[in-house]
């Protein structure tokens, strides 16, 4: 037999699951709590227990009870409760024992959601599925204001920071990106979404805002080589990718070769070489350097970590720069054999085939894949002694090595 506590718990359970919101939204008050009809023997042997429960139920002003007749051989005609029912939303509020402030909050929320569904019918399924989460969202109106704006305005000319909405700052959008994204993605037929940007940190780019420019860092390896309109810049400089891609060989006083270096400190400390520049590759971002046409007219060299990712980057570069002279440096088995003791376990080790590596790089990569010097090794550039790097480069580029 259910108790009063059991009945109220069932109602609370429905509320916690959002079901009561849905009943109210749809004006469907079919939710009932059935009360099991006792058998004659159960009623006879537990008469006081049933009688007390029925009395308490009859006195409870927050519940509506439907009754049915029950004829007992000893006690005669009995009117016993059959089920708890709800005729309107106020019946739910009373059963949940909400105060006037809570009722007003619920009432306003239901009205707001109804208007929202009328405005965006495509959001109805998402709203109903996430009704509790939306109710507990403290600033749903602000979130919808952001969604409204992005869905009807061209934002390609502004940064997210420039979005001006009353009472809404960039930090608010940042803190609520997931909720805003969920809603905007449902409106994808109405707005232009960059589906390649899946990470939440790519929010601005995904929804068409002006993106922070990608910067390409590079430096001259020849102090006599004055480049970029003959400005004497010996330290590393950075250009946004669009500007870098538009550079021409003529923009440099003289340049014959470029060294793409995966690690930044290795890039900054790379030895001086005549008629050359060094470019910070920054991992897989290096593959976008192929967009710069002037690089296709140079001798290109890549120096990355001796691990599966480093060789995969080299392979991708070799494929993209297939019409120019491209090769790796210091990514050979001689280096691996000499310094493998400095290697660590590669937690991102991949069993892959790379088709475009030069012969020396291919041999070294094969040694890694076959675990010749240890299981899943990763030899980072920083663990190759700098004196060794300088000596190797001096030998390979004897006619143009400038570092003393």
pLDDT of residue 75: 67
| pLDDT tens-digit map of 265-310 | 999 999 999 989 999 998 888 989 999 999 999 999 999 999 999 9
Q: Which of 299, 239, 302 is nearest to 266 (CA)?
A: 302
Is the confidence at residue 323, as pLDDT, over 80?
no
Q: Which residue has the higher pLDDT, 75 or 333?
A: 333
Task: Collect all residues with Cβ–Cβ distance below 8 Å to 252 and sequence separation of at least 6.
Answer: 225, 227, 228, 277
pLDDT of residue 211: 82
Is the confidence at residue 232, as pLDDT, over 70?
no
pLDDT of residue 50: 77
Q: How much is the average pLDDT of 214-235?
A: 70
Q: Are 150 and 143 a contacting pair, CB within 8 Å?
A: no
End-to-end CA distance of the chain, in Å?
Answer: 94
Is the confidence at residue 220, as pLDDT, over 80?
yes
pLDDT of residue 199: 82
Q: How much is the average pLDDT of 185-204?
A: 80
pLDDT of residue 307: 96
pLDDT of residue 322: 82
Q: Are 368 and 336 a contacting pair, CB within 8 Å?
A: yes
pLDDT of residue 229: 43
| pLDDT tens-digit map of 366-384 | 999 999 999 999 999 999 9
pLDDT of residue 230: 52
Give the separation between CA 87 and CA 93, rounded to whole angstroms. Answer: 11
pLDDT of residue 112: 92
| pLDDT tens-digit map of 28-39 | 888 999 988 777
Q: Are 158 and 218 a contacting pair, CB within 8 Å?
A: no
H helix or E strand, kind and range, residue 43: helix 40-45
pLDDT of residue 84: 92
| pLDDT tens-digit map of 8-29 | 999 999 999 999 999 999 888 8
Is the confidence at residue 228, as pLDDT, over 90?
no
Q: Which domains does the chain have, with CATH numbers?
A: 4-99 (no CATH), 101-206 (no CATH), 215-396 (3.40.1360)
| pLDDT tens-digit map of 390-400 | 999 999 999 98
pLDDT of residue 333: 96
Q: Residue 383 class from Cβ within 10 Å (0-12 exposed, 13-18 middle, 19+ buried)?
A: middle
| pLDDT tens-digit map of 339-360 | 999 999 999 999 999 999 999 9
Q: How much is the average pLDDT of 140-155?
A: 90
H helix or E strand, kind and range, residue 239: strand 237-240
| pLDDT tens-digit map of 56-99 | 988 999 999 998 877 766 766 678 888 999 999 999 999 999 99
Dihedral pair phi/psi, residue 382, rounded to 5°: -65, -20
């Amino acid at each position: 037999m259910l108790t009063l506590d059991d009945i109220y718990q069932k109602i609370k359970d429905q509320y916690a699951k959002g079901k009561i919101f849905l009943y109210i939204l749809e004006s469907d008050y079919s939710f009932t709590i059935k009360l099991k009809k006792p058998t004659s023997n159960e009623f006879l042997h537990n008469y006081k227990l049933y009688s007390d429960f029925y009395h308490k139920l009859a006195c409870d002003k927050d519940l509506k009870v439907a009754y049915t007749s029950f004829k007992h051989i000893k006690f005669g005609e009995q009117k016993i409760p059959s089920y708890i029912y709800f005729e309107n939303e106020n019946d739910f509020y009373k059963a949940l024992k909400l105060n006037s402030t809570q009722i007003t909050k619920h009432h306003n929320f239901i009205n707001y959601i109804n208007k929202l569904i009328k405005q965006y019918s495509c959001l109805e399924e998402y709203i109903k599925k996430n009704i509790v989460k939306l109710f507990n969202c403290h600033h749903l109106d602000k979130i919808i204001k952001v969604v409204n704006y992005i869905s009807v305005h061209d934002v390609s000319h502004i940064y997210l920071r420039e979005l001006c909405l009353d009472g809404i700052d960039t930090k608010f959008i940042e803190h609520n990106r997931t909720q805003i994204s969920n809603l905007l993605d449902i409106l994808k037929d109405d707005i232009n979404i960059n589906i390649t940007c899946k990470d939440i940190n790519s929010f601005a780019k995904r929804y068409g805002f002006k993106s922070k420019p990608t910067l390409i860092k590079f430096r001259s390896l020849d102090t006599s080589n004055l480049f970029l309109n003959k400005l004497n810049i010996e330290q590393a400089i950075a250009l946004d990718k669009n500007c870098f891609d538009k550079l021409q060989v003529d923009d440099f006083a003289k340049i014959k070769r470029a060294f793409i270096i995966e690690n930044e400190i290795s890039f900054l400390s790379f030895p001086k070489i005549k008629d050359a520049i060094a470019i910070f590759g920054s991992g897989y971002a290096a593959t976008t350097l192929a967009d710069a046409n002037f690089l296709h007219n140079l001798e290109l060299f890549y120096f990355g970590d001796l691990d599966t990712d480093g060789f995969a980057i080299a392979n991708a570069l070799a494929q993209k720069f297939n019409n120019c002279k491209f090769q790796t440096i210091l990514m050979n088995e001689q280096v691996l054999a000499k310094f493998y003791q400095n290697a660590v376990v590669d937690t991102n080790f991949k069993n892959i085939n790379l088709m475009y590596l030069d012969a020396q790089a291919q041999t070294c990569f094969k040694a890694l894949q076959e675990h010749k010097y240890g299981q899943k090794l990763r030899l980072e550039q920083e663990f190759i002694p700098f004196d060794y790097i300088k000596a190797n480069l001096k030998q390979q580029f004897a006619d143009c090595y400038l570092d003393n």
